[in-house]
Amino acid sequence: MAWFTDRNYFLLAVLLYGLSTIYSVFLWRKGFRRDEWVNYILLALGVALHTLAMTKRGLTLHSCPVNNLYEATTFLLWALGLASLVYALMPRFKFLCAFVSPLLFTVGIFALMPSLDPPHGPKPEFSGALRSLHAATILQSYGAFGLGAVAAGLFLMQQHNLKFHKLRAVLSLLPSIQRLEFITFRLVAVGFVLLTIGLVAGWQLPRLAGKPYFSDTKVVWSALLWLVYLELLVARQFFGRSNRKFATGVLIAFALLLLTFWITNLYSALHQP
């Protein structure tokens, strides 16, 4: 049937992310003192429909669906949602769903704007396994950075609770402040490695004449992002930056990523069909 298109499947996924967001509000109000599976199931159903939408788009294009801003955004959200589901299988990490679902919902609404998904013109010149590796690792690195930002936000929340509301911190089902700091650092480190692999893979891709790699807007932006996360990791690991400053830096870095990703993609000659 004509209604069962990839965009409509993604719309259903975004609606489920919205329901998960509404349920998350109740978990926040209860201070995460209840361990509920409802939010996990809602998010899992959303990711399942999201996966179906991407699969249908990929089969139509016969390639990894990252040819315009809509496709790149949905791939990024899918990587973040899938990663959160995997981590949330561990009992002490189920809280991630309540913080990831609002992000998936709000960015998903933005991705549904018709202007982000124009009809496909000529296919990009580069294709094959190397291009898939480049796209997958770059977007998965964004997912890891997003989860790192979630963990950083929870770290700051727990630190605040321990300082001003000790009973709330004790009753909360959130992980300990030490574990949150450990998780934040590891997620950022994993994202940094994936971003490095993606940039190296992109450097090896064949390009159209007159489109140099290192002068492209998106490549310059990605290189600056790589330097930002490198500075965060090095300062935390070797120069004794405090956990609070590290967590704050991770949150700011990911906020800048979200705010500038779309703009740089639109002005990138290498990333336009």
Token readout for 223 is: 């290189």
pTM, entire model: 0.62
Distance, in Å, from the CA atom of 247 to the CA atom of 167, rounded to the nearest integer, reads: 23
> How many other CB atoms are there within 10 angstroms of residue 130's CB atom?
14
What is residue 215's predicted lDDT score, i.e. its pLDDT?
A: 67
Per-residue pLDDT of the chain (273 residues; tens, 9 = 90+): 566 788 899 999 999 998 988 887 776 655 555 556 788 889 999 999 999 998 888 777 666 666 676 787 788 788 888 888 887 787 666 667 777 887 788 778 877 877 667 765 544 444 445 566 666 677 778 878 887 888 888 788 777 766 666 555 444 555 667 777 888 888 899 889 988 988 887 776 655 555 666 667 788 888 899 999 999 999 998 988 998 999 999 999 998 888 887 777 666 666 555
Ramachandran assignment for 65, one of left (phi > 0), alpha (psi -120 to 50 degrees), beta (any other)? beta
Cβ partners under 8 Å of residue 72, min gap 6: 66, 139, 265, 271
Token readout for 157 is: 């929340």
Q: Where are the alpha helices (DSSP H) in the chain?
A: 6-29, 38-61, 69-88, 96-111, 129-164, 166-171, 177-203, 217-238, 243-266
Cβ partners under 8 Å of residue 66, min gap 6: 72, 75, 135, 139
Residue 194 half-sphere exposure toward CB, CA atoms < 13 A: 19
What is residue 127's predicted lDDT score, i.e. its pLDDT?
A: 44
